[in-house]
């Protein structure tokens, strides 16, 4: 059912899965653990985020001072079905609609430079931000001229001013989204589907260690739970109805195979995977391990945990290697995709040219494989 949900999101370009606060917090903590100053003095841009809905906005506002942010920029998308429909930031404040220059349904730009306890109730919170936004002091809330598309000139100008992009972009536009971040040489932490690994826009970046997966893949066995706004939730998608951290009723859906993609460093990627020797794997294996491929000059390793510590040649492993990959331990040579494009002629058994879509063992076609080697010490 979960995959069906994602496919449906792809088909309809629905793309309206909202990230939970706790998932954002958990992931960011891993980067802070590795480098407590990672966000210090930085401009963070959330460019697919309606501040009234987005927990990214909420997280960065509430942790603005703790992280030492210089600025937080958030832009919303006009065509979003929830655009400006839920002014939870401002509660039931009736004065808002009267404020000149702030049309109700449009894309908005929020620039936060300061988060302090302006109502002096003893804590920094969203209410303080709302008050500052309304008064237009230090912080800024203005409508965008365009629709807030991340590819628009307006959004690109904001991107140029920022250091780190953190968001969950629309699934259907992931390729374009990551391509743009690379083109503008930005640091980022974004959510995408695991399948994006094989995209030709993404795989070379992983291979060259310019992009890697985030820290929290073990949570929920690689799935993530998202909030869907009541307005667009359908019964088939809903796993749970709950009250979220900001006291709002939300519908929860589960999406399989979701990962964080990033170029911010974290500790897990520098921990080598503990491995057995070839002989140990053979001893414990239920079926014959390490068969040679028919079409690649490599051996098949069907489980990442069975990668032998003492094999020097090329090994084909499942895509989940990226969850455990350490650049100090392995070298990534290619994937089925690269082989098919003829980028790795040395790895290909020439007799099989024309049938290189996937690895084959005894004429049996396998799932996507990543071709790796141990890094030379």
Binding site for ligand SAM (CB under 6 A): 15-19, 48-50, 54-56, 77, 80, 148-150, 167-170, 173
User: Closest distance between ligand SAM and the C-beta of residue 16, in Å?
Assistant: 5
Q: In 10 A of CB 132, how many CB atoms?
A: 20
Residues with Cβ within 8 Å of 234's Cβ and at least 6 positions away in sequence, in order, are: none
| Least CB distance to ligand SAM at residue 305 (A) | 32
Residue 294 to residue 361: CA distance in whole angstroms = 5
Task: Tell me how far, at minimum, the Cβ of 248 lies from ligand SAM, in Å.
Answer: 13
C-beta of 181 vs 339, nearer to ligand SAM: 181
Query: Minimum CB separation from ligand SAM for residue 182, in Å?
Result: 17
d(CA 302, CA 316): 8
Q: Which is nearer to ligand SAM, 18 or 212 (CB)?
A: 18
Smaller CB distance to ligand SAM: residue 15 or 300?
15
Nearest-approach distance from CB 13 to ligand SAM, in angstroms? 8
CB-nearer residue toward ligand SAM: 78 or 131: 78
Read off φ and ψ for residue 33, nearest 5 degrees.
-65, -40
> CB of residue 14 vs ligand SAM: minimum separation in angstroms?
9
Q: Which of 77/322 has CB closer to ligand SAM?
A: 77
Which of 55, 338 has the CB closer to ligand SAM?
55
- The CA distance from 105 to 143, in Å, is 9
Q: Which is nearer to ligand SAM, 149 or 323 (CB)?
A: 149
Rank residues 177 and 293 by Cβ distance to ligand SAM and give the closer one. 177
Beta bridge partners of 227: 18, 252
Minimum CB–partner distance for residue 116 and ligand SAM (Å): 25
Least distance to ligand SAM, CB of residue 273, Å: 30
Instruction: Please give the Cα distance from 321 to 331 (Å, whole number).
Output: 11
- List residues bridging with 242 in a β-sheet: 250
């Amino acid at each position: 059912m979960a995959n069906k949900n994602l496919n449906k999101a792809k088909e309809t370009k629905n793309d309206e899965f909202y990230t939970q606060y706790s998932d954002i917090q958990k992931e960011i903590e891993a980067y802070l653990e590795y480098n407590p100053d990672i966000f210090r003095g930085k401009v963070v841009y959330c460019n697919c985020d309606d501040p009234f809905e987005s927990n990214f906005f909420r997280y960065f506002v509430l942790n603005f001072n703790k992280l030492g942010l210089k600025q937080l920029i958030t832009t919303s998308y006009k065509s979003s079905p929830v655009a400006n429909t839920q002014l939870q930031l401002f509660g039931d404040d009736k004065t808002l609609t009267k404020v000149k220059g702030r049309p109700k349904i449009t894309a908005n730009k929020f620039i936060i430079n300061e988060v302090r306890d302006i109502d002096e109730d003893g804590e920094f919170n969203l209410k303080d931000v709302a008050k500052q936004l309304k008064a237009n002091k230090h912080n800024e809330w203005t409508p965008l001229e365009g629709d807030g598309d991340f590819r628009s000139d307006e959004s690109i100008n904001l991107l140029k001013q920022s250091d780190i992009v953190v968001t969950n972009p629309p699934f259907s536009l992931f390729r374009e989204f990551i391509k743009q971040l690379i083109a503008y040489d930005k640091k980022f932490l974004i959510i995408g589907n695991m399948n994006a690994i094989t995209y030709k826009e993404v795989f070379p970046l992983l291979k060259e260690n310019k992009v890697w997966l985030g820290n929290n893949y073990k949570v929920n066995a690689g799935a993530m739970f998202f909030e869907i706004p009541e307005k667009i939730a359908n019964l088939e998608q809903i796993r749970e109805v709950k009250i979220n951290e900001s006291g709002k009723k939300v519908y929860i859906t589960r999406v399989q195979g979701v990962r964080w993609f990033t170029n911010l460093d974290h500790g897990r990627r520098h921990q080598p995977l503990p491995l057995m020797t070839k002989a140990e794997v053979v001893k414990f294996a239920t079926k014959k391990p390490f068969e040679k491929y028919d079409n690649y000059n490599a051996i098949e390793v069907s489980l990442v945990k069975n990668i032998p510590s003492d094999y020097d040649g090329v090994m084909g492993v499942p895509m989940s290697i990226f969850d455990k990959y350490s650049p100090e331990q392995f070298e990534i040579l290619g994937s089925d995709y690269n082989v098919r494009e003829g980028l790795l002629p040395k790895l290909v058994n020439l007799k099989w040219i024309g049938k290189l879509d996937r690895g084959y063992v005894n004429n049996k076609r396998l799932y996507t494989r990543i071709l790796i080697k141990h890094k030379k010490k």
